[in-house]
Every structure is written in structure tokens, then in C-alpha cells.
């Protein structure tokens, strides 16, 4: 389905043992309400999205998404591309509002021997990303990226997940004329990892080790660097690769952790804070084609205007044939109904 139809739709601890695996046909299917314009480059290109919600005018919110071959895009909720900022080999991206600005940070893997973070400000009026520079982090190939705002002092931190499983935490200071990015500690999982997300409420970092499962770490730089395994790749509820992570927070510590179960084109939910299995869904079955082999995801609760009153879920689509890859938009209410969530 293309632009006119999209617009019409928008207007109208340790892992707990999972339950017996459902057959593939029993996994609920949730239809996308919109899809972005395809990225300009072919093959493995689109990767990771991040959402900015416009509190004053929710329908004017924005989604940014990386094309890891060329740069980074800004999209409207209709899926229309509004702007593009060239940048070499950006992989994952996240954003936070801090100091009156919207700061976006992306893992920059242009130099596979020396990881970098690329920083941008999101101009929400012009609807474009303005580069602030790229900053060295440490040795290795930058892969995953997520941000955390510490509650007590609003300090901004980033977590750069290296392809070999090392996780470098950086302190990001954008108050001066030139931003500073300083590595403050390192953590490690055993094998290749990428997806990560931080729960700002609890200061908890979640990381997806692709062929193994999910880990959590304390996000504060003064905390121990040892992680706790919380969910495993078991081939039924979570199928390798475990990729993008996103949060649907509720209350002080509740809600859901969502992970891309890339190996079987699904998305797995875990109920917080105990990280207990809560169900799975796939995207498809509507007028827009479904998703497969999803890398990055993002989720934000709140009002995004007609059809998206309680939240927006965005997923990269690894096979958007006959066009190049893109991102699909799903109403969070549709996921809740499909999985009968509280």
C-alpha cells in the first residue's frame, strides 16, 4: 500500500522457563498502519529507528532511521521522507531530549578498528538532523547504540555495543560549543551483540547477545560491570538472531521489553520487572506488506494522533522487495489487543 492509503489509515533476574512453544501459525499477526519511503541504497541498508514525540502536536512527531550504507533519514508519521543527512556507515541510533534540545547519537562504524559515536541535533521545526561531530570511543567496530539520561542529575550517557560483545559506556556532554564524549567504563558479553536499550526509570541496561539471549546491567558508571542473564535464545520463544530492543514502560518498574526475534520474523515480549515471557507477534496481514529479518526496533508510548493514540512501534523491514528496505509503523494498541496485554 502506498501514500494515499497510508494516510487514510492514519486518520480513521534469571530467565523464566517459557510456556510450550506455539506453532508458527498461532503467532498473532498485527498489521502495519504505515511504512516509510524505501532507503536509497540496496542490499543490507536500513537498520535502526528512533522516535521523537511532539507533545504539542502529536501527529507532527518524527521517526529517524539509519541507512548504514549512506546516512540517516527523518520521516513523518505518514512514512514520507522529510530529510536526509549523509554519513558513512551509521548503524544504530537513539535520541533523548536534554537541555532544551533533541540529541541523537549513532554508532559509527566507518572505521572498523576504532569505534566512534556520531552526534546530531534534531531540528524539530526544519525536520532534519544537524551533525555535531563524530567522536572516538575505543578500539573495535561500533555496532549497537543506546542512550540513558540519569534521573538524579540529567547526565547523558551512551552505550556503544561493539561487534565482539564489548560494551563501552560513554559520558556525553553537549553543553559547550563542542560536545565531549568520554569513555567511563566497559562491560562484556561473550559473543556478537548489537541491540540495546536503557530503562531511564530504573537505570537498567538491556543488551541482546545475538545467538545467546538477553542480559541486563546496572547503567550507572559506578556500578559493577557484571551482567545478569535474563532470557535465552531457545529456538521457540526467541530465535537467533536476537536483535533490536525496545521498552513499553508502565508505572515505576513495570511494562514490557520487546525484542526482535530475527530468525523467525517475530517480536517477543517479556513482562517487567521480572522479565517473564509475555507473548510474541509478527507484522503482516494488512494492506501493507509485513516485516522479516528485522534488525532495529523502537517503541514509544503516548499519543501520536489519530490511529496511534496510545503508542507507536517501529520496525526495520529486512525484505521490502521489490523495493529497497524500509521501516514499518504499528499501533501499540494493536499489539496489546493481539496479545491480550493488560
Phi and psi at 292, nearest 5°, equal -150, 155
Q: Rounded to the nearest 10 degrees, how much is the dihedral formed by the CA atoms of 195, 199, 203, 209?
A: -20
Question: Could you tell me if residue 3 is left (phi over 0), alpha (psi between -120 and 50 degrees) or otherwise beta?
Answer: alpha
Q: Is the pLDDT of residue 13 over 50?
A: no
Kindly indicate the confidence band of residue 237, based on its pLDDT and cuts at 50, 70 and 90. very high
Q: Is the pLDDT of residue 12 over 50?
A: no
Q: Region 46-63: what's the mean pLDDT?
A: 97
Kindly indicate the confidence band of residue 161, based on its pLDDT and cuts at 50, 70 and 90. very high
12 vs 105: which has the higher pLDDT? 105
Cα–Cα distance for residue pair 57/270, rounded to 1 Å: 31
Cα–Cα distance for residue pair 296/246, rounded to 1 Å: 9
Q: Region 294-311: what's the mean pLDDT?
A: 97
pLDDT of residue 10: 40
Helix (H, G, I), strand (E, B) or coil at 325: coil
Q: Is the pLDDT of residue 15 over 60?
A: no
Q: Region 95-124: what's the mean pLDDT?
A: 97
pLDDT of residue 139: 97
> Are 236 and 21 a contacting pair, CB within 8 Å?
yes
Phi and psi at 16, nearest 5°, equal -85, 140
307-311 long-range Cβ contacts below 8 angstroms, 24+ apart: 307/9, 307/10, 307/11, 307/12, 307/33, 307/331, 308/10, 308/33, 308/58, 308/77, 308/332, 309/333, 310/336, 311/248
Q: Is the pLDDT of residue 9 over 80?
A: no
Helix (H, G, I), strand (E, B) or coil at 270: strand
What letter would DSSP give residue 219?
-
Q: Is the pLDDT of residue 291 over 90?
A: yes
Question: Any idea which residue has 562504524 for its cell?
Answer: 109
pTM over 0.85: yes
Question: Any idea which residue has 532495529 for its cell?
Answer: 296
pLDDT of residue 228: 98
pLDDT of residue 43: 87
User: Which tens digit of pLDDT belongs to each residue from 30-39?
Assistant: 999 999 999 9
Kindly indicate the confidence band of residue 88, based on its pLDDT and cuts at 50, 70 and 90. confident
Cα–Cα distance for residue pair 187/157, rounded to 1 Å: 14
User: Which tens digit of pLDDT belongs to each residue from 199-226?
Assistant: 999 999 999 999 999 999 999 999 999 9
Cα–Cα distance for residue pair 324/37, rounded to 1 Å: 9
Cα–Cα distance for residue pair 272/17, rounded to 1 Å: 15
Cα–Cα distance for residue pair 15/215, rounded to 1 Å: 10
Cα–Cα distance for residue pair 134/182, rounded to 1 Å: 12
Q: Region 115-123: what's the mean pLDDT?
A: 98
pLDDT of residue 24: 41
Helix (H, G, I), strand (E, B) or coil at 336: helix
> Which residues are CB-contacts of 152 (< 8 A; sequence separation ≥ 6)?
none
22 vs 197: which has the higher pLDDT? 197
Amino acid at each position: 500500500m502506498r501514500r494515499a492509503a497510508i494516510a487514510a489509515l492514519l486518520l480513521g533476574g534469571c530467565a523464566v522457563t517459557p510456556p510450550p512453544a506455539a506453532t508458527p501459525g498461532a503467532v498473532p499477526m498485527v498489521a502495519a498502519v504505515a511504512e516509510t519511503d524505501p532507503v536509497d541504497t540496496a542490499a543490507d541498508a536500513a537498520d535502526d529507528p528512533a522516535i521523537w514525540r511532539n507533545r504539542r502536536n502529536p501527529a507532527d512527531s518524527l521517526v529517524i532511521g539509519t541507512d548504514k550504507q549512506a546516512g540517516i533519514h527523518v520521516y513523518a508519521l505518514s512514512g514520507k521522507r522529510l530529510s536526509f543527512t549523509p554519513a558513512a556507515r551509521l548503524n544504530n541510533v537513539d535520541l533523548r531530549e536534554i537541555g532544551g534540545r533533541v540529541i541523537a547519537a549513532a554508532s559509527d562504524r566507518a572505521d572498523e578498528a576504532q569505534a566512534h559515536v556520531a552526534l546530531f541535533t534534531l531540528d524539530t521545526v526544519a525536520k532534519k538532523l544537524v551533525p555535531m561531530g563524530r567522536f572516538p570511543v575505543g578500539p573495535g567496530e561500533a555496532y549497537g547504540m543506546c542512550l540513558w539520561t540519569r534521573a538524579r542529575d540529567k547526565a547523558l550517557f551512551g552505550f556503544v555495543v561493539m561487534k565482539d560483545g564489548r560494551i563501552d559506556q560513554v559520558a556525553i556532554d553537549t553543553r559547550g560549543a563542542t560536545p565531549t564524549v568520554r569513555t567511563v567504563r566497559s562491560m562484556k558479553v561473550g559473543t556478537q551483540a548489537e541491540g540495546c536499550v536503557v530503562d531511564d526509570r530504573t537505570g537498567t541496561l538491556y543488551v541482546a547477545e545475538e545467538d545467546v539471549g538477553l542480559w541486563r546491567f546496572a547503567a550507572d558508571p559506578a556500578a559493577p560491570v557484571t551482567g545478569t542473564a535474563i532470557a535465552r535464545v531457545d529456538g521457540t520463544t526467541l530465535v537467533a538472531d536476537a536483535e533490536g530492543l525496545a521498552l513499553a514502560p508502565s508505572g515505576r518498574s513495570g511494562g514490557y521489553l520487546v525484542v526482535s526475534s530475527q530468525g523467525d520474523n517475530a517480536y517477543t515480549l517479556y513482562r517487567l520487572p521480572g522479565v517473564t515471557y509475555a507473548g510474541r507477534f509478527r507484522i503482516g496481514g494488512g494492506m501493507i506488506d509485513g516485516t522479516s529479518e528485522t534488525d532495529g526496533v523502537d517503541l514509544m508510548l503516548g499519543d501520536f494522533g489519530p490511529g496511534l493514540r496510545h503508542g507507536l512501534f517501529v520496525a526495520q523491514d529486512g525484505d521490502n522487495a521489490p523495493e529497497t528496505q524500509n521501516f514499518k509503523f504499528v499501533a501499540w494498541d494493536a499489539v496489546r489487543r493481539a496479545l491480550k496485554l493488560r
